[in-house]
């Protein structure tokens, strides 16, 4: 696969060198926002671990469990304000979608952010070496430093892992239906993806404006990645390296039928997507995506697993301001990535 274009490498906005980290006050309180959609049992387990680990260390914390997902962003913003006022840390507990919503509030408020991974895939936390085990990730809060990490935006919607339009948002909507029926697991997620790929789908016609030139593409989906681990897993090491240089990666399959889509997905699952001639990629700091007809009708956009509607044009960009994330020292984080 040959990238359609690439920008020159620059100093990464997500640098994790020691001289860019921010130490925290020894008594900095933690303000934790958790989406209760994962169930009462998980909420109770999280509270028990927080009381045992943070309480034993004499660290103050507040746990805000949000029962209504529609209130998550509002609760996160209010809690971020409280964290800033008291020199504390805003913590997201949940999967990548929940973490993105809470991180957006921390990014806007300018306070440090931390995560307690409670999702299915946990791409964001895994990429930064944060343990999936709840007790270990809670203990990490006590001595971690805040390092700057890169975040992306599509219009005003932030994403930590990826953003997309076309077939991928549909795949996520179908996945949620299957999860409600059969439970949350990687097997259910993969099975629902297979069924969606076998359904009829249409190809998008898009114009991509990048550094003064316009490229027209036809594809079933446009996928923009901001996660090194995800890029490595699907077999795109060059694109994974570009993320470390402060860039985002756009990926689009060429117009192909359903069986070829399935074949490409299997290539990705086997870590061999870069071997395919049916995929194009683009590394960038900023692109603008429009429809040739200049339609401004809202389109479905998926950001970190959550689907919303945004109006064209769509501006995908690297944020000029990093998110300060509590994570292990760089050497430890690298060893923890899996």
Three-state DSSP at 176 gives helix
Residue 3 lies in a domain: no
Co-location of 174 and 254 in the same domain: yes
Are 294 and 304 spatial neighbours (Cβ–Cβ below 8 Å)? no
**C-alpha distances in angstroms, 142 versus 69, 116, 118?**
28, 13, 19
Range of the domain at 75: 18-151+322-336
CATH number, domain of 234, equals: 2.60.200.40
Residue 1 lies in a domain: no
Q: What's the CA gap between 266 and 269, in Å, rounded?
A: 5
Co-location of 66 and 168 in the same domain: no
Are 266 and 305 spatial neighbours (Cβ–Cβ below 8 Å)? no
- Of residues 81, 151, 193, the one with CA closest to residue 321: 151
Residue 10 lies in a domain: no
**C-alpha distances in angstroms, 135 versus 39, 96, 138, 160, 188?**
18, 19, 5, 23, 26
Co-location of 199 and 133 in the same domain: no
Co-location of 305 and 251 in the same domain: yes
The residue written with tokens 């259910």 in the block is 188
Co-location of 185 and 68 in the same domain: no
Residue 268 lies in a domain: yes
Co-location of 145 and 175 in the same domain: no
Co-location of 205 and 173 in the same domain: yes
CATH number, domain of 22, equals: 3.40.50.10330
Residue 73 lies in a domain: yes
**pTM of the predicted protein model:** 0.84
Co-location of 103 and 180 in the same domain: no
Taken as a whole, the chain contains a residue count of: 338
Are 119 and 189 spatial neighbours (Cβ–Cβ below 8 Å)? no
139-155 pLDDT, tens digit per residue, is 999 988 999 999 999 99
Q: What's the CA gap between 208 and 125, in Å, rounded?
A: 30
Helix (H) or strand (E) holding 42: helix 40-56
Structure tokens at 3: 């990238």
User: Hey, which residues does 114 pair with through a beta bridge?
Assistant: 91
Taking each helix axis from N to C terminus, what angle separates 186-197 and 258-269, rounded to the nearest 10 degrees? Answer: 150
User: Hey, which residues does 5 pair with through a beta bridge?
Assistant: 282
Co-location of 191 and 313 in the same domain: yes
pLDDT at 204: 87
Q: Does residue 313 have a cis peptide bond before it, meaning omega lies within 30 degrees of 0?
A: yes
Which runs of E-coded beta strand occur in 1-144?
30-35, 61-66, 89-94, 113-117
Helix (H) or strand (E) holding 100: helix 96-109
pLDDT at 177: 62
Structure tokens at 26: 């020894």
Co-location of 205 and 313 in the same domain: yes
Which burial class, exposed, middle or buried, applies to 202 when counting CB atoms under 10 A from its CB (0-12, 13-18, 19+)? Answer: exposed
Are 120 and 95 spatial neighbours (Cβ–Cβ below 8 Å)? yes
* Ranges of residues in the chain whose predicted pLDDT is under 70: 1-19, 38-39, 168, 173-201, 255-278, 294-295, 332, 335, 337-338
Which burial class, exposed, middle or buried, applies to 88 when counting CB atoms under 10 A from its CB (0-12, 13-18, 19+)? Answer: buried
**Backbone φ, ψ for residue 106 (5° rounding):** -65, -40
Co-location of 165 and 28 in the same domain: no
pLDDT at 11: 40
Residue 8 lies in a domain: no
Co-location of 116 and 165 in the same domain: no
Q: What's the CA gap between 334 and 338, in Å, rounded?
A: 9
Residues with Cβ within 8 Å of 336's Cβ and at least 6 positions away in sequence, in order, are: 129, 130, 131, 328
Residue 278 lies in a domain: yes
How many structural domains compose the chain? 2
Residue 270 lies in a domain: yes
């Amino acid at each position: 696969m040959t990238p359609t274009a690439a920008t020159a490498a620059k100093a990464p906005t997500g640098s994790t060198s020691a001289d860019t980290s921010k130490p925290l006050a020894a008594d900095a309180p933690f303000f934790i926002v958790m989406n209760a959609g994962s169930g009462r049992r998980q909420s109770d387990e999280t509270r028990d671990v927080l009381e045992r680990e943070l309480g034993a260390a004499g660290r103050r914390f507040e746990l805000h469990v949000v029962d209504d997902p529609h209130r998550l962003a509002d609760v996160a913003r209010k809690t971020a304000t409280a964290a800033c006022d008291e020199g504390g840390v805003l913590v997201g507990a949940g999967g990548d979608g929940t973490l993105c919503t809470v991180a957006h509030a921390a990014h806007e408020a300018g306070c440090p952010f931390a995560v307690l991974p409670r999702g299915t895939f946990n791409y964001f936390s895994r990429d930064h070496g944060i343990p999936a085990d709840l007790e270990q990730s809670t203990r990490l809060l006590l001595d971690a430093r805040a390092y700057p990490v890169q975040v992306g935006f599509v219009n005003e919607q932030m994403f930590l892992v990826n953003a997309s339009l076309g077939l991928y948002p549909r795949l996520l909507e179908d996945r949620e239906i299957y999860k409600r029926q059969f439970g949350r697991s990687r097997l259910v997620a993969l099975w629902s993806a297979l069924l969606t790929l076998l359904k009829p789908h249409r190809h998008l016609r898009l114009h991509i404006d990048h550094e003064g030139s316009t490229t027209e593409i036809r594809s079933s989906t446009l996928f923009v990645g901001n996660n090194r681990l995800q890029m490595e897993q699907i077999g795109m090491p060059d694109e994974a390296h570009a993320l470390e240089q402060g860039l985002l990666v756009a990926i689009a399959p060429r117009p192909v039928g359903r069986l070829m889509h399935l074949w490409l997905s299997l290539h990705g699952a086997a870590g061999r997507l870069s071997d395919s001639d049916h995929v194009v990629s683009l590394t960038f700091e900023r692109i603008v995506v429009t429809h040739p007809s200049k339609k401004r009708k809202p389109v479905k956009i998926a950001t970190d697993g959550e689907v919303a509607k945004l109006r064209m044009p769509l501006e995908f960009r690297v944020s000029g301001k990093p998110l300060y994330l509590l994570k292990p020292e760089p050497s430890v984080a690298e060893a923890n990535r899996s």
